[in-house]
Amino acid sequence: MKNTLTKSVAVLLFVGLALVPVLGTRAMVQDLFMVLTLLILALNWNMLAGFAGLVSVGQQAFVGIGAYAMFAAVILWGLDPLVGIAIGGVAAIVLAVPIAFFTFRLNGAYFAIGTWVAAEIVRLSLAQWKALGGGTGTSLPKGTTKDMFGVDLIKDALDMSSSAASDALTYWLALLLAAVTLVSGYVFLRSRMGLGLQAIRDNAEAARSVGVDPIRLKAAVYLLTAFGTGLCGALLFIQITRVTPDAAFDVVDWTAFVIFITVIGGIGTLPGPVVGVIVFYALQRTLADYGTIYLIVLGLIGIAIMLFARKGLWGIFTAKTGIELLLLRHRAPKRS
């Protein structure tokens, strides 16, 4: 009963968000696009740090490689940007293999620093890629996004301009990717592998002694979240249309904000990043006019939550109301 209610609300929310390009303004579409992409990044980071214990501060490596792979697909190989998104995801997985090979030898803070260094190395390497503008970067050729597969269809169906249609398309892709990431995250955590991850989080030695292989499970999560982050990176830069190494591998935009969102929402809970991204967006809207003060306030809020509410706003909400969502519990089968 409660489950059906949750599902209905989720479906309504999804449909409501899907209708924004039809009923809302273009500014709303562009704003919500950024919110959804941050949500995708936060869902991935939460899976990584909150559930697999892999506190990476180098996820911008996968945003950046996804963006660059998409640009290469469009500019160098003449492919559709949508194909470029898929290539971005695959490129991120391929990059994740060597990064994991080195950083998985490290633990805790050393792992965090290792992932950051790796991301810097990738940024500096891609700045050497002259065909994509080297250190100064490059833009998507004029009209690329308007010629994207599906844009014409949306333009005719909804009677809007090409650029509005391309905004709508990227927005829907972001919405779809966010929904798929959330649902597949839930399914994954409820699976055998997800249960193994929770066991590792509780007690790694005991987990090994019942046959769970922590390295293998964590590596699987690392590669999967790299894929999701890479897809998101490619999608983001279709909308941004211009890529530079500094923007694509920005640790503040693609990792620090994402960590902030996850931590204030509730790390290690599935609804956490959703709550976090809403709060983050609200803060951004209210404080945007105050310049750097905005970042200072964000930082203070983050610190306060880490000190006084370690399970984030979702944790406070759950403790106060007793309402829990997306629980991962496995009930014991009833005996007749």
Partner 1 sequence: MALLRLEGVSKSFGALTVTDNVSFAVEPGQALGIIGPNGAGKSTLFNLITGNIAPGAGTIEFDGVDVTRQPPMQRVVAGIGRSFQIPQPFTNLSVYENLLVAAQFGGGRHRDVGGFCMDILDQTGLAKVADNTSGSLSLLQRKRLELARAMATSPKLILLDEIAGGLTEGECVALIQTIKSIHAAGTAIIWIEHVLHALNSVVERLMVLNFGKMLMIGDPAQVMASPEVKEIYLGIDV
Which residues bind to partner 1, rule: CB under 8 A?
192, 195-196, 198-199, 201-203, 205-213, 329-333, 335
Q: Which residues are CB-neighbours of 102 under 8 A, at least 6 positions away? A: 114, 118
Q: Which is nearer to partner 1, 20 or 52 (CB)?
A: 52
Q: Which is nearer to partner 1, 108 or 211 (CB)?
A: 211
CB of 335 to partner 1, least distance (A): 6
CB of 161 to partner 1, least distance (A): 52
Distance, CA of 17 to CA of 43 (rounded, Å): 18
CB 132 within 8 A of CB 126: yes
Query: Which residue in 144, 156, 151, 183 sits closest to 168, CA to CA?
Result: 151
Q: Which is nearer to partner 1, 320 or 329 (CB)?
A: 329
Q: How far is CA 28 from CA 20, 35, 95, 252, 258, in A?
A: 8, 10, 34, 24, 21
- For 167, how many CA atoms within 13 A lie in the half-sphere containing its CB? 20
Alpha helices in the chain (DSSP H): 2-18, 20-23, 26-45, 60-71, 81-103, 108-126, 151-158, 162-190, 192-202, 204-208, 214-240, 245-248, 251, 257-265, 272-287, 292-308, 312-321
Q: Which is nearer to partner 1, 209 or 292 (CB)?
A: 209
Q: Which is nearer to partner 1, 159 or 202 (CB)?
A: 202
CB of 187 to partner 1, least distance (A): 16
CB of 2 to partner 1, least distance (A): 17
Q: Which two tokens stand for residue 122?
A: 């990738």
What would the 3-class secondary structure string for 5-26 be? HHHHHHHHHHHHHHCHHHHCCH
CB of 304 to partner 1, least distance (A): 25
303-309, Cβ contacts within 8 angstroms, sequence gap of 24 or more: 305/263, 305/264, 306/263
CB of 190 to partner 1, least distance (A): 11
Q: Which is nearer to partner 1, 9 or 204 (CB)?
A: 204
Q: How far is CA 112 from CA 72, 87, 107, 220, in A?
A: 29, 26, 8, 18
CB of 101 to partner 1, least distance (A): 18
Q: Which is nearer to partner 1, 8 or 203 (CB)?
A: 203
Q: Which is nearer to partner 1, 58 or 268 (CB)?
A: 268
CB of 214 to partner 1, least distance (A): 9
